[in-house]
Each structure stands twice: as structure tokens, then as C-alpha cells.
Amino acid sequence: MPADDLPPVLDASPVTAAHAGRGLDHDLDVVAIGSPLLDVIEMATYEQVAQVGLQKGSMTLIDLSTATAVQERLGAPRYVSGGSVANTVAGIAELGGTAGFVGAVADDDVGRTYTQNLRAAGVEFEPHYSESAAGDGLGTGRCVVLITEDADRTMGTYLGAASTLSPDGVSTSLVARGSVVLLEGYLWDVPAAKEAMRHAATTAHASDGSVALSLSDPLCGERHQREFLDLLLDDVDILLGNEEEITMLFGARSPEAGLAAAEETGLLLVMTRGARGAVVLTPHGPEAVDAAPASRVIDTTGAGDLFAAGFLFGLTHGMGPVESTRLGGLCAAEVISHTGARPEADLKALAAGAGLLAG
């Protein structure tokens, strides 16, 4: 599609414009709506992944008994507070940005620890302690992450209390403070959470904020293809996904065809391509951005989450789509160099060293 024929929404980033004049009403760069999960991380063989019944390279929703059974097979797992978009807002705070998080935890030791850890990362979090979670004994959610020797990650997710998030659990005042409200695709598997995220999107737009959707996982997009496509019409301004997610969402035969279909929506979209970097839609059409060099690749868990952190931080701090994509790639390269989905190096210093942020 010629640049002159692109939809008007691509003439300028709605996020950049919002940030430039957001004032005190938008004192948070990003507010994310997602699943607070304790990550249980372990290295595993291909055979072990098959034995526990998880689909390699994807996220599968499991019940508590399955989560317990998988954990019992692990030797010495590492425990880290996580959740897809929670990782993103932690990365934004690490870069020097401001962020908030909305999610439901149980009033248990894991939930209280999770809350303390996220706040310690610099994220505003007023947890929704669900009465239904307490009554049903759900407990705070967890995600078993099995990392194979090819650095791929396979996840079995027990949502627990995260599945009880409802519109009543969404702080309207917190959401209204965000320049961008980020919705987690994973949470669309929960009916009540769908309404919570729609409520958050409506609140964001009423406050002149933008709404971003992270597709999260190819199978998630496949399960909710029609609903996600409907969301793109009125509720979403920014779409983040990898090649497979974008291709499946638009029912395309190839990533290139998926990107062409996405371009017709007029959204600000970025499609990650692993070691080949990313493609971002600009006012002049799609532009490829090379991947940032990674010292090593140990675990791809959180690569998309931290890419989103850099990308959204860039957009909310006056960077254009291409420069924001480069920052996203830099953050992703850091997190894949070790196990776990939270950065271990100083992202702000890395970005300054790469000339993307002032030192």
C-alpha cells in the first residue's frame, strides 16, 4: 500500500502525541492489565516436556492438580514473580519509566510476596484480593516454565486467583493515569477478565489514553480470533505480536501476508521475528529493524514481554516507531541471555550505551 494511502491513524503515533501533552492526568507511562503469576522455572529435556503433556513452545492452561504434578517432577526450580505484562511494566520501570499494574491475587503468602516484589521493581500495584478466590481456595496463580536446550520455553499456566479478575477489580483511577493501557492476550481466556479489559479500554480512551494489545501466544490468538479482530476495530490502537501470532490472527498463509492484512487496519503494529529482528508499521509502510546482538541465548522466556517494555517506553518518551523497536530489541536481547523473564542487567545503562537514551 502506498504511503499516501495509509489510514490517517498512522500519520503520527497516538501514544507520542498523548505523551507530549499528557500533563498530570497521565503521570504513568503504561498501566498493564494481566495475570499475576509466580514463575516456576526449570531446565528440561524434550522427553520431559512430552511426558508432562505440554505442547512444546506454547502456553497451555492447566489445573492445580496438573501444576502440582508437573512441579513434583522438577528438581530444583527457580521461583520468580512474573506474568507476561507484569514483566513488561517491570522492564519499563527498569528503564526509568513509570508504570502500574492491575491483577488479582489471593490473600496468601505467595500473593503478598508477589505484591512486595512487583512494588520493589518500581511498579504501582494495588492488588485485587478476590473474595471468590479465597472462598474457592484458588491461591495465587503460577506458571511452570520448562526450558529446553534450544532455549525454547514451554509453559503450563494455572491462573488461580488471576482468573477472578472482574471489572470491579479494575481501578478506574489507576487506569486513567496511563498514557498507554496494555492488555494481556492470555487473560482473554477468562470470561470475567474480558469484561475487565473492555472496561479498562473504555476508561483509557475516555482519558485520552491509548490501548495496546499483546497477542501473548499463537494458540491464544487462534482461540479468540474473531473477538481479537473485533477488538482491533474500536478498542485497540497498538498491536504487538510475533510472526506466528500475527499470521494466525489474520488467517494468513505467511507472515508477509499477515503483515499486509494488519497494515489494512491502520494500527500501530510491531511484529517480532526472533533472531531476524522485527518489522514495524510506519507512516511510510513496514520497516524492518535488525535484532540487537545477544551475548548468548539461554532462555527465550520473556523475550516478547521485554521487547514490549522497550517499545512502549520508547513510544511514551517521544521516540518514533523505528527507534522504539530498536529499544525493544535491546531489552529482549538482554532477557534471553539468562534464565527468567526479568532483566538482570541495567537496562537504562544498556540503552544509554547503545545511544537510545541519554546517559
Strands (E), 16-134: 28-33, 37-43, 59-61, 78-82, 99-102, 104-105, 123-125, 128-129
Fill in the amino acid letter for 175: V
Closest C-alpha among 34, 62, 65 to residue 137: 65
Structure confidence at residue 3 (pLDDT) = 34
What is the helix, strand, coil percentage profile of the chain, to 5?
A: 45, 20, 30
| Inter-CA distances, 350 with 121, 301, 311, 347, 357, Å | 18, 20, 15, 5, 9
Q: Find out whether 155 and 58 touch, Cβ atoms under 8 Å.
A: yes
Q: Is pLDDT above 50 for 9?
A: no
Task: Report pLDDT digits (tens) over 73-90.
Answer: 888 888 888 899 999 999
Structure confidence at residue 110 (pLDDT) = 84
Task: Report pLDDT digits (tens) over 129-166.
Answer: 766 555 567 888 988 999 999 989 899 999 899 988 99
Q: Is pLDDT above 90 for 257?
A: yes
Residues 253-273: what's their mean pLDDT? 93
CATH 3.40.367.20 fits 3-34+87-135+166-352, yes or no: no
Judged by DSSP in three states, 296 sits in coil
Q: What is the mean pLDDT of the chain?
A: 87
Structure confidence at residue 132 (pLDDT) = 58
Residues 161-183: what's their mean pLDDT? 94
For 104, half-sphere exposure in the C-beta direction (CA atoms, 13 angstrom radius) is 26
Residue that the C-alpha cell 491502520 belongs to: 266
Residues 261-269: what's their mean pLDDT? 91
How far is Cα of residue 235 from the mean position of the Cα atoms in its chain?
17
Q: Is pLDDT above 60 for 98?
A: yes
Q: Is pLDDT above 80 for 219?
A: no
Closest C-alpha among 170, 193, 283, 183 to residue 239: 183
Cell of 199: 472496561
Residues 38-63: what's their mean pLDDT? 88
Using CA atoms of 320, 322, 326, 327 in order, give the dihedral in degrees to the nearest 10: 20
Please name the residues in contact with 287: beta carbons below 8 A apart, sequence gap of 6 or more: 279, 280, 281, 321, 322
Distance of alpha carbon 322 from alpha carbon 92, whole angstroms: 18
Task: Report pLDDT digits (tens) over 15-33.
Answer: 543 333 344 479 999 999 9
Structure confidence at residue 339 (pLDDT) = 82
